[in-house]
Amino acid sequence: MASVCKIVTRQLSTSVGRQGPVKYLTVIGSGLMGSGIAQVAAATGHNVTLVDQTDDILNKSMGNMKKSLERVAKKKYADNPKDGEEFISGVMGRISTNTDSSKAVEKADLVIEAIVENLGVKKQLFSALDKAAPQHTIFTSNTSSIPITDIAASTQRRDRFGGLHYFNPVPMMKLLEVVRTSETNDETFNTLMEFGKAMGKVTVPCKDTAGFIVNRLLVPYMLEAVRLVERGDAAPRDIDVAMKLGAGYPMGPFELSDYVGLDTMKFILDGWHERDPDHPLFKPSALLNKLVGEGKLGMKTGEGFYKHKK
Ligand SMILES: CCCCCCCCCCCCCC(=O)CC(=O)SCCNC(=O)CCNC(=O)[C@H](O)C(C)(C)COP(=O)(O)OP(=O)(O)OC[C@H]1O[C@@H](n2cnc3c(N)ncnc32)[C@H](O)[C@@H]1OP(=O)(O)O
Ligand SMILES: NC(=O)C1=CN([C@@H]2O[C@H](COP(=O)(O)OP(=O)(O)OC[C@H]3O[C@@H](n4cnc5c(N)ncnc54)[C@H](O)[C@@H]3O)[C@@H](O)[C@H]2O)C=CC1
């Protein structure tokens, strides 16, 4: 059963599928998530403009997407490497880059924001985009933990604003949470559900509640893990082994933290603490703060809870 799911996941995430009403997509933020979203959107036939702050960052992201596509092509075109090369160049050819987010949304049907997990920075971005994008453009955020309603408040198009919450790594994870606020209109919500399916994802509708579905359950679990360590009750490595072998998770909570990025984890925790300061589980984590303060952000910097080969 597990292997059948694995095969279906890969087929869904990697093939060129039907294109929904979204023709031009702009993805803002080309880090872990933005590059994954851009890659899978382009692999399913969408024209993507990928935006970040500098050309250096964008070039690095294009390189990462190519490496990921090579992994996909190696399996998908195992018997015909030439077709694999064509697949890769076709997908990469549907992605263009830009460092000017306002210019990059001028033709967009849909914008997916995947920048740093900070409400102020996201609001500043959307307020500027709102003035530059056509009326019909739908805005979405891939936020892990910030209420979509709070981000949408920075625009005049709260009815054309929703959440598209993808999972890391985007080429492999088949779930997409489609978040609708009390103001998201039916047309927007239906377009987002259709777009998610056109990207090969399994879509679940979510209300705009803290953590949506997955993170509502995942954040307390991850936090209990770090509290176990802070109390000296267990070591990260032992907790990871326990959760993999005892609960069947593909990664333990500390491996997953390094994979997600400890800076992003800290943004999430700080945000939940700010919104619910009396909740003991959400109080700042001294261990997480120490690692982030030392620049140990996980796989992206080569060290977090673990050391990684860069
Ligand atoms: C403790 C600190 C407390 C902090 C408090 C704050 C808490 C906040 C927590 C909230 C975090 C929120 C983040 C979020 O919003 C939502 C998320 O995304 S949560 C993360 C969800 N993701 C997972 O849970 C991932 C779990 N891991 C896995 O599924 C697998 O390990 C993984 C698929 C990543 C890798 O598989 P594995 O077998 O381990 O390794 P391989 O390298 O062999 O890969 C297997 C297979 O997959 C292919 N592949 C992997 N990655 C890619 C890629 N990027 N592109 C293309 N292909 C890829 C690879 O080629 C292999 O294929 P084979 O055919 O098997 O060779
Ligand atoms: N890391 C993860 O596993 C997941 C993260 N998310 C969410 O996705 C978002 C992005 O997370 P990651 O990709 O992990 O972060 P990341 O740190 O890898 O990438 C963020 C990118 O945004 C760029 N950026 C920052 N401000 C910008 C601006 N104003 N304009 C253009 N680009 C800007 C940065 O240069 C960086 O390349 C966050 O909201 C996060 O909560 C959601 C699901 C999973």
At residue 63 the predicted structure's pLDDT band, cuts being 50, 70 and 90, is: very high
- Residue ranges of the chain that CATH labels 3.40.50.720: 2-207
Closest CA to 27 of 46, 49, 59, 42: 49
Q: Is the CB of 35 under 6 A from ligand 2?
A: no
Q: Which CATH number does the domain 2-207 belong to among 3.90.870.10, 3.40.50.720, 3.90.79.10, 3.30.70.260?
A: 3.40.50.720
Pocket of ligand 1 (CB under 6 A): 68, 71-72, 75, 144, 167-169, 171-173, 215, 218-219, 222-223, 225-226, 250-251, 253-254, 256-257, 260, 265, 268-269, 285, 288
The ipTM, to two decimals, is 0.98
pLDDT tens-digit readout, 231-281: 999 999 999 999 999 999 999 999 999 999 999 999 999 999 999 999 999
Check if the beta carbon of residue 91 is closer than 8 Å to that of residue 81: no
Q: Report which bound ligand comes closest to the CA of 167.
A: 1
Strand order in the sheet with 95-98: 95-98, 47-51, 24-28, 110-113, 138-141, 161-165, 175-180, 202-207
Instruction: Tell me yes or no: is domain 218-293 CATH 1.10.760.10.
Output: no
Measure the CA angle with vertex 290, ends 288 and 291; round to 5°. Answer: 65
Task: Evaluate if pTM is beyond 0.90.
Answer: yes
Tokens at residue 71, please? Answer: 């992994």
Q: Is the pLDDT of residue 12 over 70?
A: no
CA 285 to CA 273: how far, in whole Å? 10
pLDDT tens-digit readout, 68-103: 999 999 999 999 999 999 999 999 999 999 999 999
Amino acid at site 232 = G
Residue 166 Cα to ligand 1 midpoint, Å, equals 12
Q: Is the pLDDT of residue 16 over 50?
A: no
Please report the atom of ligand 2 found closest to the CA of residue 34: 13
- Residue ranges of the chain that CATH labels 1.10.1040.10: 218-293
Pocket test for ligand 1, best of 172, 273, 283, 297 (most atoms within 8 A of CB): 172
